[in-house]
Amino acid sequence: MTTQETVKQHSSFSIAGKVRDYMALIKFSLSFMVVFSSVISYLLAPTVVQLNWSMVILLFVAGMLVTGSANAVNQVVEKDTDAMMKRTAKRPVASGRMTPAEGWAFAIVTLVIGLGILGWFFNILSAAVALVSWFIYAFMYTPLKKVSSVAVLLGAVPGALPCLIGWAAGEDKLSAGGWVLFAIQFFWQFPHFWAIAWLAHKDYSHAGFKLLPSTEGPGKFSAIQSIVYSLVLIPIGVLPYLANISGIVSLWIIFAANLFMLWQSIRLYREMEAKAARRVMFSSYIYLPIVFLAMLADKL
């Protein structure tokens, strides 16, 4: 192999590594799930009567940029605590592969471009809601995680605001339908996140994060909280039908999905084991796309 070929190969590896680092910085899988709900909420808006792939792609890109920016800020701010936890130690900033300055630059650029796309191609309202969501996540939820488990309650707000971003992008107003979708995603997050916090409790505690509802860690109280919020999802699941967002078929699908989530939370309470928490976590991952796609397929 010639020197020139070696240099080209090294450059290719460097570029590929940098791309992987940026994907890790934006937490692509997590961001994708968040943006998915935003896009579906946009398509559920009454004024969106036909599928326009150009607008869907623009909304998806804007959502990924704004969400990725918030995740980038989170990783820069938490670089020291990330380095203490096994599950996050290999993140680009925590591991030292990326400087905090580069992380901040990436976060600012992606935020500006993402908000610009929302404001220019959709409306100022959707951009404003996105900015509020970004600020709460990056500068309120992130530092509060070391203070109190109330951080989970606060963090559920930017976690559910993508529904309002998508709805506002389609409707140019925050009407009842958008708030119904917000409510579903808001309350869904509690059993979802507490299952994750249950499994990662040792890591989180080592880093000083207080993310379970009980100071005693994984226990009956945390499991009961998952049951309570899963129960709350059942009446909330009726609201899309009452708000004329979707029809009777999706109403029954949502009801079945809510019963399934409730059952998994009850199993966690009964078994009190990591495998039960893992079932809650994976069930929650399945829950959201089933519910939102059911509503979209049954849109009125």
Indicate the length of the chain as a whole number: 300
Tell me the pLDDT of the chain (300 aa) as tens digits.
Answer: 554 544 344 444 577 777 888 888 888 888 888 899 999 999 999 999 888 999 999 999 999 999 999 999 999 988 888 888 887 788 888 888 889 899 999 999 999 999 999 999 999 999 999 999 999 999 998 888 888 878 888 999 999 999 999 999 999 999 999 999 999 999 999 999 889 888 888 877 777 777 788 777 788 888 999 999 999 999 999 999 999 999 999 999 999 999 999 999 999 999 999 999 999 999 999 999 999 999 999 998
Contact between residue 145 and residue 151 where contact means Cβ atoms under 8 Å apart: yes
| Class of the CATH domain delimited by 7-128+137-142 | mainly alpha
Tell me how far CA of residue 26 lies from CA of 19, 71, 104, in angstroms: 11, 5, 12
Q: What is the C-alpha end-to-end distance of the chain, expressed in Å?
A: 63
The token pair that represents 295 in the structure block: 């509503």
Closest CA to 240 of 174, 172, 284, 292: 292
200: tokens are 């990662």
Q: For residue 104, give both structure tokens.
A: 């901040």
How many helices and strands, by DSSP H and E, does the chain display? 15, 0
Instruction: Give the separation between CA 162 and CA 178, rounded to whole angstroms.
Output: 10
The C-alpha angle with vertex 134 and arms to 128 and 140, in degrees rounded to 5, equals 120
Give the separation between CA 216 and CA 66, rounded to whole angstroms: 35
Q: How far apart are CA 279 and CA 22, in angstroms?
A: 30
Q: Which of 101, 50, 64, 51 is nearest to 79 (CA)?
A: 101
What sign for the dihedral angle of Cα 98, 100, 101, 103?
positive
pLDDT attached to residue 9: 44
